[in-house]
Amino acid sequence: MTNTLLAPWDAPHGLPRFDRIKDSDFAPAFETALAEDLAQTEAIADNSEAPTFSNTIEALTTTGEALGRVLSIFYNLAGADSTETREALQREFAPKLAAHSSAIYANRKLFDRIRTLWEARESLDLTDEQARVLMLTHRGFVRAGAALEGADAERMKEIKSRLSVLGTQFSQNILADERSWQMALSEDDLEGLPGFVVDGARAAGEERGADGPVITLSRSLIVPFLQFSPRRDLREKAWRAWVARGANGGETDNRALAAEILSLREERAKLLGYDSFAAYKLETEMAKTPEAVRDLLMAVWGPARERAEADAAVLTAMMQADGVNGDLEPWDWRYYAEKRRAAEHDLDEAALKPYLQLDRMIEAAFDTAGRLFGLAFKPLDVPLYHPDARAWEVTRDGAPVAVFIGDYFARGSKRSGAWCSAFRMQRKYPDVQQPVVVNICNFAKPPKGQPALLSYDDARTLFHEFGHALHQMLSDVTYESIAGTSVARDFVELPSQLYEHWLEVPDVLTRFATHAETGAAMPQAMLNKVLEAANFDQGFQTVEYVASALVDLEFHDGPPPADPMARQTEILEGLGLPRAIAMRHATPHFAHVFSGDGYSSGYYSYMWSEVMDADAFAAFEEAGDAFDPDLAAKLEEYILSAGGSAEAEALYTAFRGRMPGVEALLKGRGLAA
């Protein structure tokens, strides 16, 4: 009987047969697909014909089909619905995948064919897209160490293997700490908490089999608890547990892992001839150099820190008026900031939340995509990997475009955060393939029979991830390797952050922010307050983010620290981080940076992209129409459909006519002088 994972996806709408997949299928399918990919790659390398774009570069794009199918399913499930078996398989697969990748990049005959084509590129009569794929393939091999020889080549293999093991362990340790901690609440402890927090705590207790309500380390539950609980002792306990993830001693402690990862990354960069890992990593990004990143972050740090210090003084006075003496602490900030927001903007999140129903916000994201890009979304009744996940067929003018899967609720088997992924990417070669895209979020699940309610921040997260999904769904390139979000890391956040702006378009909230019980539209006065308060507490939010981005940069731009925690403290003290604000992601749970190479030296990317997203949405504001059809068409043509088919700067300039400065970002965050 054929292993389900190795069979073509023949479920309705070209989906995998999720209902037939068993954990026991993964290991044998993985081994078979790995061997097949290696054989296919070696056949290209051993081809006796002279290298051509077709028999080498295009041929490489068709290898590993089965492996791609197996891994896309496995890693999506391992992140969204982990089990002990899947975690064990992750640990088993990581070094094998690293060795497999090393074997391909170390194949001398294959690299010689690629290099021959690269050196003859001017005479090959390639399309722009083909020339781009050739450049990226050659560059990828060189940066992976294909030109290394002897002991250096062997050491590179060892480093990659070890890094893959460490990244997997780092990620699983955070998940283990999040799963193992909960704080039981008595009925008295619920006093002062709005209904949606109480409901979330009861639902979390039910999910975990507890006797009553609990607070977990899910952001969608712990943040509102820190905002609303009048119990300072419980806020402190919850906050300390939250920031201690990955630093609790024992088997799940990530501090030694972080030190080893940083050391190995620097060694890898030095083997390739770079001064630092940051120099290596940033070479292919829009920023290009550590200095450019530092300049951007420091341009924002000064105004943000100044705003945060002024806000801290106000919050301290509020706290002392409550009879609490001493300094404002990190577990106090959100509580008093929420009180201040309620007072200054007359905005009560408990009153706001019933207007932000999950289902209505999904409709709002879909409707916006319809108005901008002509997309339509039809619910699908198909088997998926978890009962909470749901799917839609995406069409334009009746023609299928993609399948979109949304998986919105927090659970113990899901890693924290929110992300967009693809079970299948778009391509036209060697056959036409439509994408299957998934958004994963961690919103608090409501008690049975009640609607899921979001905070305004949650609603922004939903729009953010859907912006990434549009980047995947509207992709229109020939080769999968440059499809969708296969772009520079500091460009990939542009579509997602740009899409957030449409949540703040009054027309969108007027139509979709309707009360969960009465169905009434959000009152105009409340809508005005929501929009006025959009930049509330930006000092805090900007400082906690930029602090994390600067720590990431300094860790990788220079000698690796023997003690990352001591170095983290040194960096933050040098910046003058306000005492009541912590990094958004402290080193032991900084998954963006240590669970893999994705955002290492690159956590700044959100802000680099924000410079562009603020400027890009300003184009719509200048046109006087957030749904201007000509601008929407340009946005799709040059940003959303282009993938990595050209340099990010060229794509943005084609859309906007120029590159922006940091001023639009500071203005957008309300931090401009």
Length of the chain in residues, anyone?
673
409 by DSSP, 3-state: which?
strand
Q: CA nearest 328: which of 345, 309, 344?
A: 309
Under 8 Å CB-to-CB from 325, ≥6 apart: which residues? Answer: none
For residues 484 and 478, give the distance between their C-alpha atoms in angstroms, rounded to a whole number: 11
Under 8 Å CB-to-CB from 313, ≥6 apart: which residues? Answer: none
Q: CA nearest 532: which of 509, 499, 514?
A: 509
H or E stretch at 312: helix 290-321
Under 8 Å CB-to-CB from 435, ≥6 apart: which residues? Answer: 402, 403, 422, 424, 425, 426, 472, 473, 475, 483, 484
For residues 258 and 335, give the distance between their C-alpha atoms in angstroms, rounded to a whole number: 32
Burial per residue of 414-437, b for 16 or more beta-carbon CB atoms within 10 angstroms, e otherwise: bbbebebbbbbbbbeeeeeebbbb
Decide if 326 contacts 577 (C-beta within 8 A): no
Burial per residue of 561-570, b for 16 or more beta-carbon CB atoms within 10 angstroms, e otherwise: beebeebbee
- In angstroms, how far apart are the furthest CA atoms of the chain? 83
Pairing of strands 399-409, 436-443: parallel
Q: CA nearest 313: which of 99, 141, 539, 140?
A: 539
For residues 152 and 396, give the distance between their C-alpha atoms in angstroms, rounded to a whole number: 52
For residues 277 and 601, give the distance between their C-alpha atoms in angstroms, rounded to a whole number: 8
Counting beta carbons within 10 angstroms of the beta carbon of residue 287, is it exposed (0 to 12), middle (13 to 18) or buried (19 or more)?
Answer: buried
Decide if 115 contacts 52 (C-beta within 8 A): no
Secondary structure (DSSP) of 314-374: HHHHHHHHTT--S---HHHHHHHHHHHHHHHH---HHHHGGG-BHHHHHHHHHHHHHHHH-
465 is catalytic: yes
The one catalytic residue among 58, 465, 493, 544? 465
H or E stretch at 6: none
Sign, Cα dihedral of 354, 360, 361, 362: positive
In this structure, what is the dihedral angle of CA atoms 443, 458, 220, 344, given to the nearest 10 degrees? Answer: -150
For residues 544 and 308, give the distance between their C-alpha atoms in angstroms, rounded to a whole number: 10
Rg of the chain (C-alpha set): 25
For residues 95 and 162, give the distance between their C-alpha atoms in angstroms, rounded to a whole number: 7
Q: CA nearest 502: which of 612, 372, 615, 611?
A: 372
Which residues are known catalytic residues?
465
